[in-house]
Structure 1
């Protein structure tokens, strides 16, 4: 039984070593992410102890390769960042243009709505409510003026008729007075003539 466990432990250890070896073989400085390349360098580096300290030994060519890969990745990142910045700037410009067009469209819509809800009154745009108020005020004022002038006309007509009636009565009185005066004058003339005739006969 004990030998079985020992055999099983040896097999598991061997399998783990083979798996670790195959995993290390998949890591490379020519492919993969920067993190996997660091893992590759760490796994391939040697170590030793000196004066109670542990040192890792890494090949200089690996460090140069890793540094070049890091710089390339940084350059790619900067390029992508610049491209993204340009895209953001372009999109922001597009957004600003759309906002300007939206503001212009909104202004045009408000102007059309205001013009639709307004009336042209002596060259000025006023609301329909104000236009109706002004129009009805003018109509009421003109109606009142018309009624006033009709009243004045009727009053003047009545006064004219009264004046004509009084004038006619005055003319009638004058004609009667003239006729009576003429008759009195004629009577006095006859009396005077009679007196003259009497005087002549008495001589």
Structure 2
């Protein structure tokens, strides 16, 4: 009877468990491993159901089969946690890059403003420089600064898009994980009540016989 009880809990949990879905384009070995683990877990669910025995309206699952499924499930959950951790690290890295780009942009803007204010001066290190040469050099430096600023602005915008996308993916993953966790808790509580009722019925039948 104990084996039947365990079978009831695990089979219903397996049948009702939702898949953890990932949105967005994610690259890397960890995601590949996670996808493979998810596929393997799905295959293991079918294997458990196929290899289980019928008992009235229930399925009786062998302990070794349940043990293998538990191992696959733990591996899948560990990979899910690792994917989430990698997302958080990526977001922190992008935030640091954006901060560095902001500082570089501010520095270039200050330097450009300073050059604009001093462009009428032709003194340089105590030397007299031809005004035409000085002005030409100044404008060349100014346009070079604009090119650099444009480059960093584009890079900043790209980094910001990546960060937003990563945050959205992480938020979706956290929402799905939380929904999965709550659903699992609710199913576990429901199964415990059903198991208790079944055990009570069996006990009453034994007493009646």
TM-score, normalised on structure 1? 0.39
Counting strand residues as a fraction of each chain, which structure ranks higher?
1
Higher RCO by CA contacts (8 Å cutoff, separation 6 or greater): 2
TM-score, normalised on structure 2? 0.38
**Who wins on radius of gyration, i.e. which is larger?**
1
